[in-house]
Amino acid sequence: MRELDGQASAPGINLQLTTGPELQRFAMERMQGESAATVVMDVNNGDILALASAPTFDPNKFVNGISVADWRALNENEFRPLANKTVQGLYPPGSTFKMVVAMAALTHGVANEREDVYCPGHKDVNGRKFHCWRRRGHGNVNLREALRYSCDVYFYEMAIRVGIENITKTARALGLGQKPDLPLPAVRTGLMPTKEWKRVNKKEDWFIGDTANAGIGQGFVLASPLQLATMTARIASGNQITPRLLNMFDNKLTPVTGTEKLDFNPAHLDMVRAGMYDVSNHPRGTAYRSRLSGGEQMAGKTGTSQVRFITKAERDRGVTKNKDLPWNRRDHALFVGFAPFDNPRYAISVIVEHGGGGSKAAAPIAKDVMQKALSLGANEYGPLPSQKRSQAKPPKKTRA
The set of catalytic residues is: 95
Q: In what order do the strands lie in the sheet with 299-305?
A: 48-54, 36-42, 346-352, 332-339, 299-305
CB-CB neighbours of 353 under 10 Å:
23
Neighbours of 316 (CB within 10 A): 8
Q: d(Cα 242, Cα 369) in Å, to the nearest integer?
A: 21
